Structure 1
Amino acid sequence: EIFVYLPPQYFEQPERRFATLYLHDGQNLIDPRTSHIPGQTWRAHSTVDRLAADGEIESLILVGIFHAGVRRITEYTPSSDPQLGGGEGENYARFLVEELKPFIDSRYRTLPETERTGLGGSSLGGLISLWTGFHFPGVFGRLAVLSPSLWWTRRSIFDDVERLTPEPKPRIWLDIGLLEGGRHVRNAAAMATLLRRKGWDGAHLRYVEEPAGTHSEEAWAARLGDVLRFLFPA
């Protein structure tokens, strides 16, 4: 299941085309009735519309991809853990690249170019966003990687990032909340260091440690504005 949110400008300017941001965990983005924690959402549509109206970001089409419920771990992980399972992330990424994006581009007035297409999520959604950006280069040129689960299968994502260098380099927002736990903060900082060593400069990488940040929808909602300002500036 997906939803597509079209900004007001989509209807006001019928000849215009728009950048697109694909976000995982679609249940948590807009509708408080479907969110993992009832009443807590990213408020993604209102944040996008407010910042676009203020001239801080370009207007965006939002595509929210609902996770598969009890199969969320399986869907969002590119490798299998002996205790936790998972490992169908490549199939999910191929669905995004080979089916969903072509469908959205054919149905709506998108700007389909790499630099006008973003992918993002939090936790395991952050992990699969980063993995997809490196394994399917030239599709998603903007990556929103919030509180990513970099620990998955003994930090195997580090091997992927070390081994692969997608061209063109995607612009990456990477963050972590300092209240999420020391191991997760250390992993995020190590990933930022690795990306910088591989050539991601300040124009292509923004790494943020949020002092009061927790692993929650409210924390990610609070950071979304800064994410959008970096990835899709006006």
Structure 2
Amino acid sequence: MKLRTAMNSLYSASVSLGSRTWRGFRATWRGRGKAGKGAMGEELTERAYAITEEDEPGLVELAAWRAPEDPPPTLTGLVRHHEVKPRDARLPARRLIVWLPPGYDTPGDTRRYPVLYMHDGQNLMDALTAFARVEWNVDETAEALVRAGRVEPVIIVGIYNTGMDRLPEYTHTATEKYPDAGRADLYGDFLVNELKPFIDRAYRTRPEGACTGLAGSSLGGLVSLYLGMKYPDTFTRLGVISPSVWWDERDILGRVAALSGPLPLRIWVDMGTQEGDHEEAETVEDAARLHQALLEKGWPEDDVRYTVYEGAEHTEAAWSARFAEVLEYLYPARGGSMRAATSGE
């Protein structure tokens, strides 16, 4: 059985097993607890490999190693966790991390708050759970911006991904290369009809669509745009960060072009110049095509912000560095440029 890293280094291991059997395994680095991680950030700790009569070598691609050292928690502000189990058995249970703005727990306070839902929740606020132990610093950034009066106080809900289910849940079509993909409609139904009602019951939210956003990076950016277009009455503020426009031969561009006109969505789109191109993606060019498609469909320029970050890579650190700009655009302080009626006045 061979293991290949993202840098094309090859590692091999041999083991004798009976034919026509399944065996679980995990890849670790020198027995020190560093577990392999995939290209989408998923933990590769529960892989299954089919042993056939042909006994052909199996190939597993690893993108990174998860460090064994557990850093101290890095949470800032009032943070709560929940476990949620979707009704549909095709979606696994997952964890939520909820950041509450300063003043939320003030005795007697009855104020209600807008909500931003974000994918890949484990990467957002705590290095202990984040990919490669690098978090987005969403909690620190939001805390500072709210206290400085630069953004509207907002509840942020991080939805953990579920390892090997991340790619299927964050894509809206199956492809020849990824036949198990295309569960975004299922995932979106869970967000709209189960998770959001749960959050609206558990917290003092402003549940109307004008106050509700959805954001993510990479495939998380793609699914944010797809679900925003599907549910424009539920999510009206979209953070489309480093989106995987390349998915399924840029299918998302055709869906934008097929719209009858602009939707009432405020959309942030961005890309870094060092996010890498490969056979399916031309990252900066793809993001520019998406921006242009939205403008051609009639979106006002004030409602689509497109930014290219020189030298920025496809990493949690890069997304952390620009999250403040994303949040200020989607949830400006009262009196800011947001035209939607969000202030409650």
TM-score range, shorter chain: over 0.9
**Gaps in structure 2 of 5+ consecutive residues:** 1-94, 334-345
One-letter identity of the residue aligned with 1:154: E
Counterpart position of 1:138 = 233
**Gaps in structure 1 of 5+ consecutive residues:** none
Deviation of 1:167 after TM superposition, in Å, equals 7.0
Greater mean deviation of Cα atoms: 60-69 or 13-22: 13-22
Quote the Cα distance in structure 1 between the aligned partners of 2:288 and 2:122. Answer: 29
Select 1:10's aligned residue among 76, 94, 104: 104
Aligned residue runs from structure 1 range 64-213, under 5 A? 64-85=158-179, 86-164=181-259, 168-181=263-276, 183-213=282-312
Deviation of 1:178 after TM superposition, in Å, equals 0.8
| CA deviation vs aligned residue, 1:49-76 (integer Å, no higher than 9, x gap) | 1001111101111101010101111111
Greater mean deviation of Cα atoms: 58-67 or 156-165: 156-165
Counterpart position of 2:341 = none
Q: 1:165 to 1:225 in 2, by over 3 A?
A: farther
Deviation of 1:84 after TM superposition, in Å, equals 2.5
TM-score (norm 1): 0.96
- Give the conservation status (yes or no) of the 8 Å contact 1:30–1:41: yes
- Give the conservation status (yes or no) of the 8 Å contact 2:276–2:314: no
Higher radius of gyration, 1 or 2? 2
Deviation of 1:8 after TM superposition, in Å, equals 2.1
- Give the conservation status (yes or no) of the 8 Å contact 2:102–2:146: no
Q: How many residues align?
A: 233
Counterpart position of 2:325 = 226
Q: 1:63 to 1:165 in 2, by over 3 A?
A: farther
The yes-or-no answer on 1:48 pairing with 2:48 is no
TM-score (norm 2): 0.66
| CA deviation vs aligned residue, 1:178-211 (integer Å, no higher than 9, x gap) | 1113511110000000101111122211000000
One-letter identity of the residue aligned with 1:187: D
Deviation of 1:164 after TM superposition, in Å, equals 2.5
Quote the Cα distance in structure 1 between the aligned partners of 2:264 and 2:129. Answer: 35
| CA deviation vs aligned residue, 1:21-56 (integer Å, no higher than 9, x gap) | 000000100110111111x10100111110011111
| CA deviation vs aligned residue, 1:127-162 (integer Å, no higher than 9, x gap) | 000000011121011000000001011111111111
Quote the Cα distance in structure 1 between the aligned partners of 2:188 and 2:120. Answer: 14
Select 1:22's aligned residue among 74, 95, 117: 117
Q: 1:166 to 1:16 in 2, by over 3 A?
A: farther
Displaced runs of 4 or more, over 2 A: 164-168
Q: Secondary structure at the match of 1:137?
A: coil
Higher helix share: 1
Q: 1:37 to 1:128 in 2, by over 3 A?
A: same
Quote the Cα distance in structure 2 between the aligned partners of 1:84 and 1:162. Answer: 24
One-letter identity of the residue aligned with 2:144: R
Higher strand share: 2
The yes-or-no answer on 1:58 pairing with 2:157 is no
Q: RCO (CA 8 Å, sep 6+): is it higher in 1 or 2? A: 1
Quote the Cα distance in structure 2 between the aligned partners of 1:81 and 1:195. Answer: 25
- Give the conservation status (yes or no) of the 8 Å contact 2:263–2:299: no
